[in-house]
Amino acid sequence: MLNADQLESVAALRRGLHLCPELSGREERTMAAISAFLRERTSLEVQNMGGWLLATHWEGEDLPWIGFRADMDAIPCDEAACGARHGCGHDGHSAILCGLGMMLEGARLGRNIHLIFQGAEETGEGARRVCETWPRLDKIERVYALHNIPGFPKGAVLMREGCFACASCGLIVRVKGRPAHAAYPAEGANPIALLSRLALEVRDMAQDVLAGGNRLLMVTLIGIRAGGENFGLSASEGQLNLTLRGHSKADIDALIRRIRAWTEAGCAQEGMKCAFELRDEFCDTTNDDAAYADALSRFAAAGLSVATLREPMRWSEDFGWFLKRVPGLYFGIGAGEDWPGLHTAAFEFDDGLIPIALRALWALCR
């Protein structure tokens, strides 16, 4: 493990990152700070991969590879001068991975290790970009990531077999009809009734997809907009905004197909057109069974306190894109039952979690 001075340097890095929060896709100062920290304190090969950083611990050509990923971006915040703040703890996750980089210095573990510092987690774009553009990902045998999670005992390693965090996406349904004078609405095509019916029926569609299965598939009505305040004009355009969330991306995809088919049929009947747009798309973060079992035994051997989650987290995490390509594990570190919640105004990462998280990552390295 790191000594007290080294742990303080990791905590100081975390505090420095906290002071330069950057939105998804704009993590330039963050990457510069991480790169400088690793270059000054380790002999890891550090590469700027264009929007993300890669630091590599190399032991031999024929040895297996594993990977560890940390997110770097901050959340939007109108109150902050820069428009962003670290309200989710990604500053802590990045600092922890830098601490692991220090622990790897001079180590002989019988494997090569990639440390992946990934941006744009909050929008779901960062991990997807890495997975689509980095050919060496397929060389990795297992990939790991963690997240601090308030509301659970401080320092507990939070594990779950199968789905750890839900898939989700934003869906915009746009319908375009024809305008008409309010005195002659039948001469136009007004989308308000169709969009309203969709808003009322979409939850039943979700239940049809589940077909009685014991899985989560939920629809949140985010907003509906159509027409205006011209009382002489019948509305001709409108849109419905939905958030779809569930244990399985396959269920969400099936629900989207039902929504499309229902809307297209309704538009065809009423002489209107429709279009669909996906936003902030996250797949389910589902752990590999073998990686889960292996990690359980490693954490127990390391003397870590392990708690099993009864159900998946409803929030989404773009690490799921990695797990669709490479077997691996996503787990949590309890931040304290009374610690302020993620994305709340009072939240800041607790530096007391750093040594516990490092013990967990080191157990997976050895």
Query: What's the distance, CA 40 to chain centroid?
Result: 30
Domain 4-165+284-365, second-level architecture = 3-Layer(aba) Sandwich (3.40)
Residue 50 confidence (pLDDT): 94
Q: How far apart are CA 352 and CA 338, in angstroms?
A: 15
Q: How far apart are CA 338 and CA 335, in angstroms?
A: 8
Which parts of the chain have pLDDT scores under 50?
none
Residue 81 confidence (pLDDT): 74
What CATH fold (topology level) applies to the domain 167-282?
A: Alpha-Beta Plaits (3.30.70)
Residue 78 confidence (pLDDT): 84
Residue 366 confidence (pLDDT): 84
Q: How far apart are CA 318 and CA 132, in angstroms?
A: 13
DSSP state of 11: H
pTM above 0.95, yes or no: no
Residue 181 confidence (pLDDT): 97
Among residues 183, 167, 182, 13, the alpha carbon closest in space to that of 86 is found at 13
Q: How many CB atoms lie within 10 A of CB 362?
A: 19
DSSP string of 257-286, one letter each residue: HHHHHHHHHHHHHHT-EEEEEEEEEE--EE
Amino acid at 211: A
- C-beta separation of 122 from 281 below 8 A: no
Question: Where does CATH 3.40.630.10 sit in the chain?
Answer: 4-165+284-365
Question: Where does CATH 3.30.70.360 sit in the chain?
Answer: 167-282
Q: How far apart are CA 354 and CA 335, in angstroms?
A: 11
Structure tokens at 67: 């990977």
Is residue 12 helix, strand or coil?
Answer: helix
Residue 37 confidence (pLDDT): 98
Residue 46 confidence (pLDDT): 98
- C-beta separation of 51 from 120 below 8 A: yes
Residue count of the chain, please give it: 366
What's the Cα-to-Cα distance from 122 to each of 25, 35, 73, 84, 314, rounded to whole Å? 10, 22, 7, 12, 15
